[in-house]
Structure 1
Amino acid sequence: MTYYDVHPEPVISAGTNTAATSADWQTWAHQSETALRGAASGAADATVGGAFEDYLSSWNPKLQGIAKQAEAQGVNATSAANVVVGADGQSATLLNQPLQQGSELSSTLSRPITGN
């Protein structure tokens, strides 16, 4: 017999925790930018300082984007788990309608599902 067992709670928790790291990533990006700007301004040679500025200008958007990606991944994981919970509840309701005379299923996706 084939069945699906749904455990959304760990996914929701992981998604929430991942999204919460966004502020830490933002702080890291700011510290990296500050360090590169300091290196650029402290360079004795204008060419070296310019190289640091060029490096910063190419990496700064990527550094800033990491925080946004962490938040998006966490929010998306949490949303996906909530969709599964909602779908499981809806399917249990729909499948229980013909079974009103028998025992009810509390969660359809955690019950055996026979397939062809």
Structure 2
Amino acid sequence: MTSSASADGRPVLWAVVTTSLVPWPEIAPRIHEHQRYQEELLANGQLIMSGPWTDQAGRPTGAGLAILRAATSQEAEAIASADPLVRAGLRTVAVNAWKINQLNPAIAAVT
């Protein structure tokens, strides 16, 4: 799996911001479908990291962030849109190109 590169050669990953369309209690019973999909993406190298937004008490809000590796914006959109919670109409996604300017050497392998 390769990442995109910007015009100046810096790596580009894809930041996927998910937004809940329903309250967390409506998402919670189906979260295992989402987690299974995320595990598949991890296994094939497309998912770098992900996690939920939480409130101040640490409870999930139903929204979150995922960082993807994809060759094109179309590929990133397809990956994000295939999430079971998106397909079920429980979440929407916004896919943003994320050009890496600074990167801690300890995690440089993700690009």
TM-score with structure 1 length normalisation?
0.21
Q: Larger RCO: Structure 1 or Structure 2 (Cα < 8 Å, ≥ 6 residues apart)?
A: 1
Bigger strand share: 2
